[in-house]
Amino acid sequence: MAESDFDLVVVGGGPGGYVAAIRAAQLGMKAAVVEREHLGGICLNWGCIPTKALLRTSEIYHYFQNAKTYGLKADNIGFDMAAVVKRSRQVAGQLSGGVKHLLKKNKVAVFDGHGKLNGSAGGKRKIHVEKDGKAVAELTAKHVILATGARARQLPGLEADGSTVWTYKEAMVPETMPKSILVVGSGAIGIEFASFYRTMGAEVTVVELVERILPAEDPEISAFARKTFEKQGIKILTGAKVTKVERPKNGSGLAKATVEQGGKTQVLDVEKVISAVGIVGNTESIGLDGTKVKVERGHIVIDEWMQTGEQGVYAIGDVCGPPWLAHKASHEGVICVEKIAGKNDVHPLNLRRIPGCTYCQPQIASVGLTEEKAKAAGYKLKVGRFPFMGNGKAIALGEPEGLVKTVFDADTGELLGAHMIGAEVTELIQGYAVAMQLETTETDLMHSVFPHPTLSEMMHESVLDAYGRAVHF
């Protein structure tokens, strides 16, 4: 008979949940994970990983189309959409299987089913697990972590139907390449799909409610991105909203999307609509009724140690709200478990030090405060900028378009934020994230030696520029 009593039960096996369970096992706890679908959660199966596989395909396709730039010949370039999707799903499957292996290696019990709080007994929490309406297990644990993730937000009139209106799930497994797509929302998810489909040949229109795309990014980076995307042929409508989608009969043909912008209305004929207007936490049907767990605006309320209002019940990841990032969820899981275990060197998560990445072409990455927010917070600033066109490696790669921007506290030299757009910036941003975590000053960064020729030299030059010392531009 399977073990049913644990020190910790984690409901949800995504990047937050499985990492929390493994860390608990490392600290000597008897841990279990309850997962209703796929280990690895949305991220590994329907988010971060498979989208990167798709975007890698589109990147290579782009290089093939521009082979002449590199002195190469590539004729009759095409693609097999079924094979593109198959590779993406194989990558996701491989990593999900890897999570299963890691949990087994760390002796974490895994229960396949839907888990929910079910009262308490003897000072321990009870967790009911069921699958297809049938009871699978009744678990008990002193501590429970809710890591149930989130799902795509549905707007009235834009409800996904799997045919004309897609969420991220349908957008990842197209049977054929649509000729035209309307993307509603210009956050990371919307822009990544816009980039993928445009590179693969679709006509793409992006509609954003606010006045600029990528509203979480520094306005200067957003403006740079918009200019680049429009040069690629993406049509962008900001300060606009989709008021109605008239779906074709029998699911075939073109949809008619009504868009309002600046007091004017236009109707767009598109084959598919991708709704990327945010996410909402999975707080339903997990046994919160009758507990002190508080839910606000679709997300569970937690304190700095991920504790909910109910003693012994914690929550991590997307179910707790923004930023909705896998690495944030994983780190929350580690902090939560280490605090439960009584570790002395545990610190609350500083949300300002969490980097964010968008894997479009060109890539976008940032950490910390934007220049705008730093000014609003009352800081006196020194701001540095360095363009990709001033970097030898970027020119050699054929990637001269991009920008690295750094924001410093003029009084202390503290790095307040870093914002980047261009080739491979998602791999560069962690350098600034580490610098912020170590509370590095501008002097430390200036004295650091960056290898040549690398894109990372632009990180150094941007710091130098903030203090009037840039060399190569």
Q: Which residues contact 410 (CB under 8 A, 6 or more apart)?
A: 379, 380, 381, 382
Residue 450 DSSP symbol: P
Residue listed under structure tokens 């308490």 = 120
Angle at 234 between CA 229 and CA 236, to 5 degrees: 90
Residue 352 DSSP symbol: G
How far apart CA 18 and CA 39 sit, in angstroms, is 8
SS3 of the chain: helix, strand, coil, percent, to 5? 35, 30, 35
Look up residue 195 and give its two tokens.
């980039």
| Structural contact between residues 259 and 243, judged by C-beta atoms closer than 8 angstroms | yes
How far apart CA 68 and CA 59 sit, in angstroms, is 16
CA-based nearest residue to 129, from 111, 143, 142, 145:
111
101 catalytic, yes or no? no
| Structural contact between residues 310 and 223, judged by C-beta atoms closer than 8 angstroms | no
| Structural contact between residues 247 and 255, judged by C-beta atoms closer than 8 angstroms | yes
Strands in 415-422's sheet, in edge-to-edge order, are 356-358, 363-368, 415-422, 403-409, 381-387
Q: Which of 419, 452, 460, 472 is catalytic?
A: 452
Residue listed under structure tokens 């927010």 = 373
Look up residue 458 and give its two tokens.
């632009």
Q: How many CA atoms lie within 13 A of 370 on its CB side?
A: 14
Residues designated as active site: 452
